[in-house]
Structure 1
Amino acid sequence: MIVAGAAMLMLVLSTATGIAYVWQPPEDRDYQSRYLTTVESRYADTDLARFHYTKTGTGPAVVLVAGGGQWLYSYRDTIPVLAQHFTVYAVDLPGQGYTTLKQRDFRYDLDAMSGALGTFLDAMALPKASLVGHSWGGATSLYFAERHPERVTRLALLASPGLDVPSSWDWRPLEVPVLGELIGKLMTKSNSEATQRKSFVHQDRVTPELIDENWAQMSRPDNREALWSQQRNFDYALTERLLGEVGAPTLVVWGGADRFDEPWQAAELARRIPRATSQVFEGCGHSVHEDCADQVNPALLSFLTV
């Protein structure tokens, strides 16, 4: 009995390890993005990656960086507003959307992700720009602004972790080897939808299109891997230690009903970042710029045009 039990355990562990490190789930290649038919997709080839991005409007440069598990689609309501006054670049960083990595040893840590952001800026011939980042994309933007203050004109952080505090329990299982890979690889469209719904207060805005658009890109192998890798590798002790190095005027925005990252962080980040202010929108979730676009877009526009 003991031998049989041990054999069964070994079989289970072997199967789990095979799924975690060898097997690749199928990618949703059949979905045709409706959003991409309404915008002009552009690609920038670099040694690091083939970056997918859009460029809209004229004026000073503003670069939009989406959160983890999302892509530039998340700024669909933000781009038209800002593009009336700015040249708006919305970019998929490595592990997002339709950008394709060329370097297979990419680490998905803050140094690598902020370096990728710098690579994209260089590819666009932008010596400096304003940055708007959401969630993990905000953490990347914050770290870039800390390390390269001369390249950032203004910085807007939307529900962006930057303090060295425990992350949401939703994400901590991703930190466990094998388990994190299993969660990422076995994730289904319904799992993705549940996460999206938790990120919004206004459930009517979690439309079938939003679910489809996010799942199609999330099903890509690199994008799945980015989920557990960023959760493991993002070290917020780095961003917290360097908060005083941010040289750009900064706006920290949060949803008062954020169910992933606690809203008190907005005021604390603003207190510790020079020339920073914070704004918490009550009744709004973690995807604050999507959930409450009518409130957040005017705040962003006012901040960026001062």
Structure 2
Amino acid sequence: MALILTAATAIAYVWQPPEDRDYTSHYLSTVQSRYADTDVARFHYTKTGSGPAVVLVAGGGQWLYSYRDTIPVLAEHFTVYAVDLPGQGYTTPKRDDFRYDLDAMSGALGAFLDAMNLPATSMVGHSWGGAISLYFAERHPNRVDRLGLLASPGLNVPSSWDWRPLEIPVVGELITKLMTKASSETTQRKSFEHQELVTPELIDENWAVMSRPENRAALWAQQRRFDYSLTERLLGEVHAKTLVIWGAADHFDEPWQAAELARRIPNAQSQVFDGCGHSVHEDCPSQVIPLLETFLTD
């Protein structure tokens, strides 16, 4: 037993799994990657279109690739900034002790906006990216004009059982370090109702970034440190016109939260789509993206 515990601890805190460096992203070959150096991180992002600014924030374990269908549509009306926050995609934090809590993540989002010279912007966030966007809008109400929340936790309710093991010391580190492409695919498939959309490319694109050590560590860190009592307590502080979108077939976060968030956020509305999963904008793009477009342009 002592040997098992020693080995588990060594894997959790010393060993590093290999990063998938052999994969060449097809998506990145079709867009212009940009990087912005700040004191917080070297941010990877794309900038597309022209007009008022909209910033897109991906969910946990994902990156700006998740907005591949959203960006071209919104870019017809807006300058669209899709950003990888610390723990996502190809962004690299500047400090090894980056906290990955709501304060640190919203601070990173603010640092990116400052680097882009955006004193105020519209913002769309998915899942944990939505929680970060919501907290930023609560703390800095004058910097967010409109807020789109896609299956975004913000109420202080228990998280999905899928993620709770990450909260246990050693266990969470082991889970993320021992994650494989196959287990990553299983999680991605649970996020979609339309399984035909979980293509080999989608699996490869998300695994390539999820295999990065800092992105693996961000999963357990955010699950442990995101305190939704903070977001719930400040819901009334949001000044931005807000749209909450959810999939009725979300297997990670309960869809009833959409209406409750819209009830408690001033000037908010909600829409729940039948037959759509947690990655609602990827799973049901023909329904979600036009609604986002209308919300942001009205």
TM range (shorter): over 0.9
User: Paired residue for 2:152?
Assistant: 160
User: Paired residue for 1:235?
Assistant: 227
User: Paired residue for 1:5?
Assistant: none
Question: Whole-Å Cα distance in 2 between the matches of residues 49 and 240 of structure 1?
Answer: 28
1:113-192 paired onto structure 2 within 5 Å: 113-192=105-184
User: Paired residue for 2:39?
Assistant: 47
Question: Whole-Å Cα distance in 1 between the matches of residues 249 and 180 of structure 2?
Answer: 26
Counterpart residue type for residue 52 of structure 1: H
Question: Whole-Å Cα distance in 1 between the matches of residues 65 and 198 of structure 2?
Answer: 13
Counterpart residue type for residue 168 of structure 1: S
Give per-residue Cα distances to partners, 1:178-201, cap 9 Å, x unaligned. Answer: 000000000000000000000000
**In the alignment, does 2:258 pair up with 1:266?**
yes
Question: Whole-Å Cα distance in 2 between the matches of residues 16 and 170 of structure 1?
Answer: 21
**In the alignment, does 2:290 pair up with 1:298?**
yes
Bigger Rg, which one: 1
User: Paired residue for 2:244?
Assistant: 252
Question: Whole-Å Cα distance in 1 between the matches of residues 234 and 35 of structure 2?
Answer: 32
What is the CA-CA distance between 1:207 and the residue it aligns to?
0.1
Q: Secondary structure in 2 aligned to 1:217?
A: helix
Question: Whole-Å Cα distance in 1 between the matches of residues 189 and 39 of structure 2?
Answer: 37
Pick aligned residue for 2:194 from 189, 202, 222:
202
Question: Whole-Å Cα distance in 2 between the matches of residues 251 and 227 of structure 1?
Answer: 26
Q: Secondary structure in 2 aligned to 1:169?
A: coil
Question: Whole-Å Cα distance in 2 between the matches of residues 219 and 292 of structure 1?
Answer: 27
Give per-residue Cα distances to partners, 1:8-34, cap 9 Å, x unaligned. Answer: x10000000000000000000000000
Question: Whole-Å Cα distance in 1 between the matches of residues 143 and 218 of structure 2?
Answer: 26
Q: Secondary structure in 1 aligned to 2:293?
A: helix
User: Paired residue for 2:5?
Assistant: 13
User: Paired residue for 2:91?
Assistant: 99
User: Paired residue for 1:83?
Assistant: 75
> TM-score by structure 1 length?
0.97
**In the alignment, does 2:35 pair up with 1:28?**
no
**In the alignment, does 2:209 pair up with 1:221?**
no
Give per-residue Cα distances to partners, 1:145-196, cap 9 Å, x unaligned. Answer: 0000000010000000000000000000000000000000000000000000
Long gaps (5+) in structure 2? none
User: Paired residue for 1:4?
Assistant: none
What is the CA-CA distance between 1:47 and the residue it aligns to?
1.1
Pick aligned residue for 2:273 from 256, 262, 281:
281
Question: Whole-Å Cα distance in 2 between the matches of residues 103 and 133 of structure 1?
Answer: 24
Question: Whole-Å Cα distance in 2 between the matches of residues 272 and 178 of structure 1?
Answer: 37
Long gaps (5+) in structure 1? 1-8
Give per-residue Cα distances to partners, 1:252-272, cap 9 Å, x unaligned. Answer: 000010000000000000000
What is the CA-CA distance between 1:103 and the residue it aligns to?
1.3
Question: Whole-Å Cα distance in 2 between the matches of residues 115 and 50 of structure 1?
Answer: 14
User: Paired residue for 1:66?
Assistant: 58
Query: C-alpha root-mean-square deviation of aligned residues, in Å?
Result: 0.3
Question: Whole-Å Cα distance in 2 between the matches of residues 248 and 194 of structure 1?
Answer: 36
Q: Secondary structure in 1 aligned to 2:3?
A: helix
Q: Secondary structure in 1 aligned to 2:222?
A: helix
Counterpart residue type for residue 296 of structure 1: V
Question: Whole-Å Cα distance in 1 between the matches of residues 81 and 260 of structure 2?
Answer: 29
What is the CA-CA distance between 1:273 and the residue it aligns to?
0.1
Q: Which 4+ stretches in 1 moved above 6 angstroms? A: none
